[in-house]
Amino acid sequence: MKKIRTALLAYGMSGKVFHAPFLSIHERFELTGAWERSKKLIQQDFPLLKSYASLEELLNDDVELVVVNTPVHTHFEYAQKALLAGKHILVEKAFTTNAAEAATLAELATQKDLQLTVFQNRRWDSDFKTVKKVLDDGLLGQIVEAEIRFDRYNPALSSKLWKEATNAGAGILMDLGPHIIDQAICLFGYPKALFADSRRLRKNSMVDDNIDILLMYDDKRVRLHAGFFNRELLPAFVLQGRNGSFFKDRGDVQEDVLKTGKSPVGPQWGEENPQLQGILHTEVNGKIIRNRMPTLQGNYTELFDGVYKAIRDQKPEPVSAYDGLLVMKIIDAVIKSNESGKIIPLS
């Protein structure tokens, strides 16, 4: 088994929490280091790894996979340079700042015969995996309406200036939006049209921090919401079918546990608090039931397993460039709908 030598393009929160903990212990990857511009932090956690002084130094190293985990407005430039250097890439969300950039990267990866995966890690959250199982098992019948929310209570502006500056990659649509949009596509497919509203609610905010998106299908409507003024949280997933309903709180523990510095190992990894189990109220074999639905375990390791199989075994990427392109097409349409106040058809 030949390990995949992998380097990060940053070692901030994303690199420290979502990537290095998995890559450093995964038997099929070898983490070589990270590009660090000012603060040199990776060697505090991994003394034997490299702190690259420049992107060029990193790309000239014996690295197969590059994790593009820099601010969103840099994704296109750095991903393109990595592909041109012959590297496979794993790109954080949002994939790019618009669909045109996403399409360019997808085409380039194909031309170079390289693997491009978008880091939509929330597909491996415990709550989402459980919701998907409820749908896959047909427990609700035909879905007529659904809602996915990613809410927080955090009225303060971020200390990360790039998140609050007026650049193409800033704002809640580019931050939390890709999660709920990708989840909606995974569950229900690509919509036919959408209507969206975006607002600025935090004091002195220069970027959108509250979004409502209505995805329109022939047989259903799916509402997406993200915001920072939700002290009392509503269910993150609401599914209404012709036979019944399923409500589920957002309960995945992985991010919070990773932030404490714990390693993502052990049989209990990704187990949710049982008190957050979803409520299933439906009809099964002519009998009405209403009970708690056991939650599946979350595990981001499965995403990295998929990246390895895509590179070594030529299996489909766990989240393909095409998947990322669909999300960006919806984001483009959200911006257009918000500016025009109109329903936007989707091709």
Of 250, 316, 248, the C-alpha closest to 280 is 248
Residue range 105-133, pLDDT digits in tens: 999 999 999 999 999 999 999 999 999 99
Paired strand residues for 117: 90
Paired strand residues for 4: 29
Q: What local confidence, expressed as pLDDT, does residue 100 receive?
A: 98
Residue position matching structure tokens 């329903």: 343
For residue 94, whether the previous peptide bond is cis, meaning omega lies within 30 degrees of 0, is yes
* DSSP 8-state code for residue 73: G
88/65 Cα distance (integer angstroms): 5
Residues 33 and 49: beta-carbon distance below 8 Å: yes
Paired strand residues for 119: 92
- 1 CB-near residues (< 8 Å, 6+ apart): 27, 28
34/122 Cα distance (integer angstroms): 23
Q: All domains of the chain, ordered by start, with CATH? A: 4-121+303-320 (3.40.50.720), 126-297+330-345 (3.30.360.10)
Residues 45 and 16: beta-carbon distance below 8 Å: yes
Of 239, 249, 252, the C-alpha closest to 121 is 252
180/147 Cα distance (integer angstroms): 10
Q: What local confidence, expressed as pLDDT, does residue 161 receive?
A: 77
Q: What local confidence, expressed as pLDDT, does residue 166 receive?
A: 84
Q: What is the pTM of this model?
A: 0.97
Structure tokens at 122: 């929330």
Structure tokens at 115: 């693997």
Helices (DSSP H) in 176-294: which residue ranges?
A: 177-188, 254-259
Q: What local confidence, expressed as pLDDT, does residue 59 receive?
A: 98
Q: What local confidence, expressed as pLDDT, does residue 147 receive?
A: 98
Residues 230 and 151: beta-carbon distance below 8 Å: yes
Residue range 291-347, pLDDT digits in tens: 999 999 999 999 999 999 999 999 999 999 999 999 999 999 999 999 999 999 998
31/159 Cα distance (integer angstroms): 28
Between the CA of residue 40 and those of 10, 12, 45, 56, 114, what are the distances in Å? 10, 10, 11, 17, 30
Residues 182 and 123: beta-carbon distance below 8 Å: yes
Residue 228, helix vs strand vs coil: coil
Structure tokens at 293: 């639905």
Structure tokens at 103: 């399409």
Cα 308-327-119 angle, rounded to 5 deg: 25
pLDDT above 90 coverage of the chain, percent: 95
Residue 111, helix vs strand vs coil: helix
Residue range 44-60, pLDDT digits in tens: 999 999 999 999 999 99
294/283 Cα distance (integer angstroms): 17
Digits of tens for pLDDT over the chain (347 positions)? Answer: 799 999 999 999 999 999 999 999 999 999 999 999 988 899 999 999 999 999 999 999 999 999 999 999 999 999 999 999 999 999 999 999 999 999 999 999 999 999 999 999 999 999 999 999 999 999 999 999 999 999 999 999 988 877 888 888 999 999 999 999 999 999 999 999 999 999 999 999 999 999 999 999 999 999 999 999 999 999 999 999 999 999 999 999 999 999 999 999 999 999 999 999 999 999 999 999 999 999 999 999 999 999 999 999 999 999 999 999 999 999 999 999 999 999 999 98
220/236 Cα distance (integer angstroms): 18
